[in-house]
Amino acid sequence: MEHSMKLVETHCSKYLDMFGECIKQYPHTWQMDCEPERRKLAKCAETNPEIVHIKTVCGDEFHEYEKCMIENRADTEKCAELFTTFSDCADAAVGAFTATASNPATVSKASPSTGSSSASSNER
């Protein structure tokens, strides 16, 4: 998850700063008052291929975590396990994306038994 957060920081720092400042300005009502800033940040994040991959692979985990956060605004600690599940998924998704993007053969080399079956299915 740390890597994916760095991606957002690097790729969308302007919008992340705007959203953060809005939250500081409206600590009790940020969910409503900062919606335009949240949407701009989300739109920016959607332009990064790695972030899009995380959203595709880990969408269910994220939605469960997000739902928990909304339902437990007063006690967000209840959502820690769901956050960990999403975070682990995001880290694995970024790792797979990076390995595939930098060297598609790396995935096959990492698990030789799948490499041969993957090659035969590509030939079909």
Tell me: pLDDT of 39 over 70.
yes
Decide which of 106 and 18 is more confident.
18
- Map out the domains of the chain as residue ranges: 2-100
Average pLDDT, rounded, for the chain: 80
**Taking Cα atoms as reference points, which of 35, 45, 41, 39 lies closest to residue 17?**
41
Tell me: pLDDT of 15 over 80.
yes
What pLDDT is attached to residue 107? 41
How far apart, in whole angstroms, are the C-alpha atoms of residue 36 and residue 65?
Answer: 21
Report the 10 Å Cβ neighbour count for 82: 19
Structure tokens at 73: 């605004």
- How far from 121 is each of 79, 104, 124, CA to CA, in Å? 41, 15, 5
Confidence (pTM): 0.60
6-10, 51-55, 78-82, 109-113: least confident range: 109-113
DSSP string, 83-100: HHHHHHHHHHHHHHHHHH
